[in-house]
Amino acid sequence: MPVHRTGSTIAVEGPMQLILRYGNGKRTEALLLSRSAGAMRVVIPGCKDTVELRSEGEQWADEEGLRVSIEAMVCTPAAAAMERPRTMTAS
C-alpha cells in the first residue's frame, strides 16, 4: 500500500477503517470511501446512506453539525481485500 509523506503529513492510499467518536461519547466504526482537504465520505454499518464529514478548522462535523473526532485510522486486511477488483463469470 503506497504511503506518501509531505512534511508532517502522512497519506496512505487504499481503504481505511476508522473509529469515530461523537461529542456525546458514542463510538462507531466506519470505512473511509474518499477524502479531500475539507471533507471525507464514510460508510457506517447499519446506515443506509454514506455519511459526509466536513472539516471545520481542526475538527470534523457530520451532516447534522455534530462534532466527530477520529480516534483511529487503520488499514486492515479486511479493508485491503475490498481494494481487489471483483469479477463475475457466467456459468
Provide Rg for the chain, Cα atoms: 15
- Would you list the domain boundaries of the chain? 15-77
pLDDT at residue 83 is higher than 80:
no
Residue type, 70: I
Q: What is the pLDDT of residues 7-40, one digit of tens each?
A: 555 555 566 889 999 989 999 999 988 888 889 9
Beta bridge partners of 56: 59
Return the higher-pLDDT residue of 49 and 82: 49
pLDDT of residue 52: 94
pLDDT tens per residue, range 34-79: 888 889 999 999 988 999 999 988 889 999 999 999 988 887 665 4
Model pLDDT, residue 72:
86
Closest CA to 50 of 23, 31, 22, 74: 31
Res. 3: pLDDT tops 60: no
For residue 28, give the DSSP letter: E
